[in-house]
Every structure is written in structure tokens, then in C-alpha cells.
Amino acid sequence: MIVRLSSFFLIQWITSRATRLRAFCGIRRYVNAVATPGKKDAPGLRSRILANLSSFERRSQVEAGLTPAAVAVIIVQDTLHPDPCFVITRRTHRLRKHPGQWALPGGRLEEGEDARTAALRETREELGVRITPEAILGLLDDYPTRSGFVITPVVVWANPDLKLNPDPNEVAEVHYVPLADLERPEVPRLRNIKESDRPVISVPIPMLDTNVHAPTAAILYQLREVALRGQATRVAHFEQPVFAWR
């Protein structure tokens, strides 16, 4: 019995270490990203995003049957990431909802919470980092999902040298992706599907060798349009791929 218990805890320890190593490697993969222009504009980026979000007339969605949720769109610029980045995670395959999918830190609102509070709490629970309410720059439009949620994106400017400690039960990978990657000409990608009359949106991220789909793709696209460019582009009409409907 003792031998079996020892083996069980050893396997658990190895699994946890492997997950954290993948997350760490994901963070370090930033150095292999394509160099993009925009670094020289970084000192004023926070002020520009704050001004754009402050003047943006966001749209909230209140629909019966949808559960309120929030995600944190975390922007980081520090010595390791001189080009401003956003933080994206990959959910573990052990999660019941949307296992293995690319996502932003977040989840449903708990009783008595608003979107801002929930986004910061979920960031703490998933990534092991405390971000204060003063770091919040503003909100993007609510995005209703096929799986029964309405998501409020909360844009956050994190402190320099953010130290992440991802929860291996929820987060399989975490990556810093340069904001400039959202300015690539192929962003966004739209395609039609027979199951819907709305176009499915995705955002290619070459450094991750993947296409990120809605709802995350819709949020990232609006981040570019509203926060970075100051354009009041709406995204709630964009569709999710069928596999994300569940």
C-alpha cells in the first residue's frame, strides 16, 4: 500500500512539474517571435489604450439564460518583453468545459462580483498573480457565446516583470504574444460554415503555430480595433466554430 501511494504522489509531482515546464517554455518562446515594428511607440501605449477605451461606448449584452462571465486581457511590457504583449493560455484537457482550447484567463462571475472583480480573481486563481484594480484600463464589448455565457473582456496593464505561477489543474500552457502580431494583414480570418449565417472568426498566431478561435479571437480582434487603433469595431456578430458551441 505504501509503495502504491508513493508511486501515485510521484506521478502527480512529475505531472505538475511537466505542466509548469510547458508553461515556462511557452513564456520563453516569445524570444522566437517575429520582430515587428511598434516598439518605439511603446512608452505611450498605455496612455493611448486608456484614452481609446475611455472614449469607447461599449455594448453590454443582457440575455435570459446566459451566465455572466469575465476574462482578463492582460498587457505586459517589461525587460523580458520590450515589445508589449498580451497573455494567452491553453486550457488543460482535464477540464470539463472547452478542454485544450486557447483562452484568456477568466470564468463566471461569483455572487456579488462585477466583471472587473471576477477577471482579477480568475487571473489570480489561474496564473497565481495578484493584479490590483488600479491596473484596469477599461472594458470591451460583451460577447455572448454558444455555450451559454456572456463574456465581459477586462483590459489590464500588468506591472513590469510579472511573475506567473500557473495552476496546472487549469492551465496547460501560458504564452506572451506581441501585440504587434494582431496587426498582421491576415488578422482576422473569416470563413463561412453551413451551420450558421454568421462568419466564423479566427486569429492566426504564428509563434504558437495555431489559429485562435472565437470567443477569444473576437476579443483579441476588438482589442486591436478599439484599444490599439481607436476604432469602434463591433464583434458580437462573429460566430464561433461548431466545436466551441458545447
- Continuous segment of H or E residues that includes residue 149: strand 149-157
Instruction: Report strand pairing: 67-76 vs 149-157.
Output: parallel
Q: What is the pLDDT of residue 160?
A: 81
Check pLDDT > 80 for residue 96.
Answer: no
Rounded CA separation 205/26 (Å) = 13
- Inform me whether the pLDDT recorded for 242 exceeds 90: yes
Which band of pLDDT confidence, cut at 50, 70 and 90, is reported for residue 7?
Answer: very low
Smallest CA-to-CA distance from 15 within 134, 172, 185, 135 is with: 172
In the chain, % of residues over pLDDT 90: 69
Q: What is the pLDDT of residue 152?
A: 98
Stretch 146-175: mean pLDDT: 93
pLDDT tier, 48 (very low <50, low <70, confident <90, very high otherwise): very high
Question: pLDDT tens digits, residue range 180-226?
Answer: 999 999 999 999 999 999 999 999 999 999 999 999 999 999 999 99
Per-residue pLDDT at 16: 46
Average pLDDT over every residue of 135-156: 97
DSSP annotation of 66: P
3-class SS string, 174-220 = EEEEEHHHHHCCCCCEEEEECCEEEEEEEEEEHHHCEEEECCHHHHH
Rg, C-alpha atoms of the chain: 18
Provide the pLDDT for residue 13: 45
Query: To 5 degrees, how large is the angle CA 150–CA 154–CA 116?
Result: 85
Q: In what order do the strands lie in the sheet with 210-213?
A: 189-193, 196-205, 210-213
Residue labelled with grid coordinates 504574444: 177
Q: What is the pLDDT of residue 67?
A: 96
**Exposed (0-12), middle (13-18) or buried (19+): which is 37, by Cβ within 10 Å?**
exposed
pLDDT value of residue 243: 86
Percentage of the residues of the chain whose pLDDT score is greater than 70: 80
Grid cell digits, residue 107: 470564468
Taking phi over 0 as left and psi of -120 to 50 as alpha, with beta for the rest, 98 belongs to left
Has residue 64 got a pLDDT over 90? Answer: no
CA distances from 232 to 31, 44, 58, 222, 235 (A): 32, 20, 9, 8, 10
List pLDDT tens digits, range 102-128. Answer: 999 999 999 999 999 999 999 999 999
Answer for the pair 137, 228: CB distance below 8 angstroms, yes or no.
no
Work out the average pLDDT over 16-34: 40
The pLDDT, as a whole number, for residue 41 is: 54
Model pLDDT, residue 95 = 65
Q: What's this model's pTM, rounded to 2 decimal places?
A: 0.83
How high is the mean pLDDT of the chain? 85
Contact status, residue 116 vs residue 32, Cβ threshold 8 Å: no
CATH 3.90.79.10 corresponds to the domain 2-244: yes
